[in-house]
Amino acid sequence: MTVTQTGPVPDQAGHFGDYGGRLAPEALMSALEELTAAYESAKADPAFGAELDALLRDYAGRPTPLTEVPRFAARAGGCRVFLKREDLAHTGSHKINNVLGQALLTKRMGKTRIIAETGAGQHGVATATAAALLGLDCVIYMGEEDTRRQALNVARMRMLGAEVVPVTIGSKTLKDAINETFRDWVASVQTTHYCIGSVMGPHPFPTMVRDFQRVIGVEARAQIQDRIGRLPDAVIACVGGGSNAIGAFHAFIGDESVRLIGCEAGGEGLETGRHSATLAGGSPGVIHGMRTYLLQDPEGQTLPTHSISAGLDYPGVGPEHAWLHDTGRAEYRAITDVQAMAAFDALCRTEGIIPAIESAHALAGALQVGPELGPDAVLLVNLSGRGDKDVDIAARWFGHLGAEQAQDSQEAR
Amino acid sequence: MTDAATGAGRISEVFARSAAERRAALIGYLPAGFPTVDGAIEAARAMAAGGADLIEIGLPYSDPLMDGPVIQEAVHQALTRGAHVTDVLRTVTAVAETGVPALVMTYWNPIDHYGVESFAADLAAAGGSGLITPDLTPEEAGPWLGAAAKHDLDPVFLVAPSSSDERIALITSACRGFVYAASVMGITGARQSVGAAAAGLVARVRQHTDLPVAVGLGVSTGVQAAEVAGFADGVIVGSAFVRCLLDAGDDRSAGLAAISALTADLAAGVRAASR
């Protein structure tokens, strides 16, 4: 079964050191207790594990391949680079791993409706997909700004039968979509499950989502040993909330020789203040039901964030990352928009793979880490999603649209 | 500011007095800094003059995930105009000077960031009587409970219709002053009916504590206040007051007149119930 826990486990109340916990409204406490109990019971139930494993294999397409990318690696100091191909999972990203688990839990709890927040739209698409598959009503909250940036994913969710609600309050991005989903959940919790899309939120979400995503690293660890007979020197992943990174890292936490490197969205540069690099530029506090690092002003108000990647545009980070950061087991670096787009371009042209812009931050990390470690190094990069949704943004970034098309594109927005 | 009674004493006295008058206490909420810092102070004074027994001053926060559109909008405007924690404390002082005890209602991160001990000291120095924490439950409140006891502030936690009896026991044992009972499952904002769940919840809370129980969420009229006053010790009204100021826009005197009229209607309501 794919959801067993190993390695560092949070305490009974979901604390990773000082981080995590359950700092949430009382109205949600009974639902969080119910979910914790349902998840513990499901974890111990071989039938649940078998059902999830079958869906992951026969529906989502697991295991995803491990692809060596030598032409890309030539730009990373000549080391060897392997990509864990979550972009090839059904719906185009790792998000499906978590969503299938939570959707099965929703049915197990006897709930009939599933709600979720989404930033880039990948989690919303995955949730809408699982809802269609399992016959659940589905509502997706998405910041109005993001519905414009990711119009294609809005259409995909609606095709799948989900209702997409644009959120018009606050910064109109992911954090406001999360607020609005919590507001729905407080009023609908008897019939509704909130399918949180990352390793964030109140306990048990950070642990549960971690366990559902852990399959990434479990597969990759076996695949790379099978391929080259040893562990990689570093595992590299992008970090917004941090679910693909935790999924990639977790199976390697006990392997002391393996560096775990998270790549946050450095936006226009840390010095400009226009970024989403929570661990590099933030401080501990409380947001969305958890204690973690967040980007906040001197009075504890959440700061506006920026990233070219809607999926990384979040002022908090999963509490297990905060803990891995403080303990030094994982290291985090900020990748700017420019660096991410250069890596995006490099992978497209050298390997014929269009990555999600989120994942391009991890690729940019590899372009830095490769030369640091030298030509004997082996890097494992989690390619968390594919870039189809980002074609419009990338085309405009690189000037691939003719003047006339660019005009159409502007008008379409 | 009065030195005659400590924070804890002041809130208990309010409920003792309203109980002696065989009525429920009226508790009003306004966020600091809306429409301006001084405008909020004037509105709170109008509430106090009109018969509010306790006043909650909201600390504007960027991510108010338990609030509906009315309070979201007011808080957003307050933050856009640069409301600070010092403005909240100044508003608390102004309310306390009227003789009506003031509590702060706040999401947890601004307090966590300010420093729990520092905030408790400064709130007590400003004349505040307590703190209501909608996204902090007793399990995570250890440092705050210590600071509250040290500075003689009342910690007020919420119970919800979904709270188990075990949780109600835990929460009521950590509360002082009163227990805040959320009338419905949902966010702040006026509702057509306050919900049968509220009376049942109050009855369940009374099995665990002798503290007064005040009901909030959804109450906007004197008729609703009378209904809630029939089974609760306090009636909490927030969004309806904020709506008075939002609807008045730049017409400050109209906003204050609306606050006074609503306070009078609600004050009559809490006295109309048969108890």
Please report which residue ranges of chain B form alpha helices under DSSP H.
7-20, 37-50, 69-80, 85-97, 108-114, 116-125, 142-150, 165-174, 196-206, 222-229, 239-248, 252-272
B134 interfaces chain A, CB cutoff of 8 Å: yes
A240 interfaces chain B, CB cutoff of 8 Å: no
> Count of residues for chain A?
413
What DSSP string describes A341-404? Answer: HHHHHHHHHHHS--B-HHHHHHHHHHHHHHHHH-TT-EEEEEE-BBSGGGHHHHHHHHT-S-HH
Q: Dmax over Cα atoms in chain B, in whole Å?
A: 48
Domain spans, chain B: 9-272
Q: Would you tell me which residues 324-353 of chain A have a C-beta closer than 8 angstroms to some C-beta of chain B?
A: none
**Of residues A176, A186, A285, nearest to B186 (C-beta):** A186
d(CA B219, CA B198): 11
Q: What is the pTM of this model?
A: 0.95
- Bridge partners of A166, per DSSP, are A142
- Bridge partners of A235, per DSSP, are A260, A380
Q: Using N-to-C axis directions, what is the helix angle for A46-58 and A95-108, rounded to 10°?
A: 140
Does the active-site annotation cover A384? yes
- Bridge partners of B5, per DSSP, are none
d(CA A116, CA A356): 21
The model's pLDDT over A54-67, given as tens digits with 9 standing for 90+, comes to 999 999 999 999 99
Complex ipTM value: 0.94
The C-alpha of A146 sits at a distance from chain B's nearest C-alpha, in angstroms, of 18
pLDDT for the residue numbered A6: 45
Does the active-site annotation cover A389? no
Residue B57's Cβ-side half-sphere holds a number of Cα atoms within 13 Å equal to 38
Q: Compare all CA atoms of chain B with the CA of A20 and give the residue at the minimum distance.
A: B140
d(CA A6, CA B98): 59
Indicate which of A287, A292, A299, A305 best probes the interface with B, i.e. most B CBs within 10 Å of its own CB: A299
Place of tokens 């519905």: A147
Place of tokens 């109340």: A13
pLDDT for the residue numbered B223: 95
Cβ neighbours of B186 in A, within 8 Å: 27, 186-187
- Bridge partners of A245, per DSSP, are none
Once rounded to an integer, what is the mean pLDDT over residues A187-200? 96
- CATH architecture classification, B9-272: Alpha-Beta Barrel (3.20)
Cβ neighbours of A188 in B, within 8 Å: 185
The C-alpha of A211 sits at a distance from chain B's nearest C-alpha, in angstroms, of 24
Report the alpha-carbon angle A341-A116-A316, nearest 5. Answer: 55
ω into B101 cis (within 30 of 0): no
Contact A121, A156 (CB under 8 A): yes
A285 interfaces chain B, CB cutoff of 8 Å: yes
Cβ neighbours of B159 in A, within 8 Å: 26
- Cβ distance B158 to A26 less than 8 Å, yes or no, reads yes
Segment (H or E) for A368: helix A357-373
- pLDDT digits (tens), chain B, 275 positions: 444 445 668 999 999 999 999 999 999 999 999 999 999 999 999 999 999 999 999 999 999 999 999 999 999 999 999 999 999 999 999 999 999 999 999 999 999 999 999 999 999 999 999 999 999 999 999 999 999 999 999 999 999 999 999 999 999 999 999 999 998 888 888 777 776 789 999 999 999 999 999 999 889 999 999 999 999 999 999 999 999 999 999 999 999 999 999 999 999 999 997 66
The model's pLDDT over A350-365, given as tens digits with 9 standing for 90+, comes to 999 999 999 999 999 9
- Cβ distance B140 to A302 less than 8 Å, yes or no, reads no
The C-alpha of A183 sits at a distance from chain B's nearest C-alpha, in angstroms, of 6
